[in-house]
Amino acid sequence: MANRAASYVLAAVCLLVLAATVAEARHPRLVPAVFVFGDSTVDVGNNNDLNISVGARANYPKYGVDFPGSVPTGRFSNGLNTADLLARALGFKRSPPAYLSLTKKTVTPQMYKGINFASGGSGFADDTGRFLFGEVIPMSKQLEYFSGVVKHMTKLSGAKKTSSFLCRSIFLISAGSNDMFEYSASPGPSDDYKFLSGLVAAYKQSITALYEMGARKFSVISVPPLGCLPSQRLRRLKQMGTQGCFDPLNDLSLRSYPMLAAMLQDLARDLPGMAYSLADAFTMVSFVFENPRTDAWSFTELEAACCGGGPFGAAYACNETASLCADRDGHLFWDADHPTQAVSLVAAQTIFAGNRTFVNPINVRELALL
């Protein structure tokens, strides 16, 4: 217990320093490019023009109220998301643009800076999100898009230069939550170990595919405590009549981390030149829950969404008619399922330069400098 307490004290100091030193000023890029894969936690607009339901869109007010110009961009946030803020820490202005926003003319120069392939509502399984939302982009399709980019790059620059470029770039992956949501909500008998094993196997398959296309440096964000989202607090209230986090989903989130960590460790041993940084999102979010007020931040609302309506701000969607909280930086959650820009800032800086309490075996800054 003493060692654990000491570790958390050091973690607190680390987070305070990181949050206090985040600067708007640009600095030299640490990597040539950032490529982003995953779901709504890192989507920057790929879903805008897809045939999907409103639940998988974020290109309307009040989304983007704190984004430069106060315009909705397809980010599931009041402002920037984790992909944006991690890219900024690496020396970029923000996340690279959404792949589907690029044209044949603009994709060529952009691919040498990075591209974002993430899609809100998607998962590792091809059918994840399809029934609920429609035409989301599963991980397999995101990898297919990237494969096309690599072929185009190889044609223009040659295999050797393309390989050198990709092996120095960062590949950010934040996915798995939607697969977990749908598994948790499915009726009938369940086998948690079988599901989690399949999820980790899909993660392994995706990373291996990226490796075979030239990727070497992976920043992986694990699944956070999903049961504490406003939508899942409402779920517990409806199903059990009590308040609190939805524990079965949190148990799944918690159990997934050591399995993902073990898989990455084994994969790095088997794939020459592979390096990775794994962010423990469950521990990161739990730490903020336990320490909502520090010298660097003050989160005064830990349960309810800033934009929405009804219990926990989760009963009604964050749309044009939804009520909006006055202190967005004081809320952990922006809408029923996503963090505020303030939380994403803490997360990104921890992923970038945090200690081993939160990121293993190295942080993204150390990964970039390899």
pLDDT digits (tens, 9 = 90+) for 148-185: 999 999 999 999 999 999 999 999 999 999 999 999 99
Q: Indicate the average pLDDT of the chain.
A: 93
Whether the predicted pLDDT of 321 surpasses 90: no
User: DSSP state, 99?
Assistant: G
pLDDT tens, position by position, 104-122: 999 999 999 999 999 999 9
Q: Confirm whether 40 is a catalytic residue.
A: yes
What is the rounded distance in angstroms from the CA atom of residue 64 to the CA atom of residue 60? 8
- Given this model, what pLDDT does residue 26 score? 62
Q: Which fold has domain 22-228+250-293+344-369?
A: Rossmann fold (3.40.50)
Computed from CA positions of residues 65, 66, 69, 75, in that sequence, does the dihedral angle turn out positive or negative? negative
Task: Work out the end-to-end distance of the chain between its first and last CA atoms, rounded to an integer number of angstroms.
Answer: 34
- Given this model, what pLDDT does residue 32 score? 98
Catalytic option among 40, 95, 206, 222: 40
Whether the predicted pLDDT of 275 surpasses 90: yes
Q: How many CA atoms lie within 13 A of 342 on its CB side?
A: 19
Catalytic option among 277, 335, 337, 344: 335
Contacts of 41 by beta carbon, 8 Å cutoff, 6+ apart: 76, 81, 82, 83, 118, 174, 177, 221, 338
- Given this model, what pLDDT does residue 11 score? 46
User: Which two structure tokens, joined as six digits, stand for 153?
Assistant: 């790059």
Q: Confirm whether 337 is a catalytic residue.
A: no
pLDDT tens, position by position, 2-50: 333 334 434 444 454 444 444 444 679 999 999 999 999 999 999 998 9
Residue type at 84 in one-letter notation = D
The residue ranges of every structural domain in the chain are: 22-228+250-293+344-369
Computed from CA positions of residues 363, 367, 368, 370, in that sequence, does the dihedral angle turn out positive or negative? positive
Strand partners, 338: none
More confident residue, 44 or 320: 44
- Given this model, what pLDDT does residue 256 score? 98
More confident residue, 27 or 187: 187
Mean of pLDDT values over 190-218: 98
Mean of pLDDT values over 312-337: 94
pTM for the model stands at 0.93
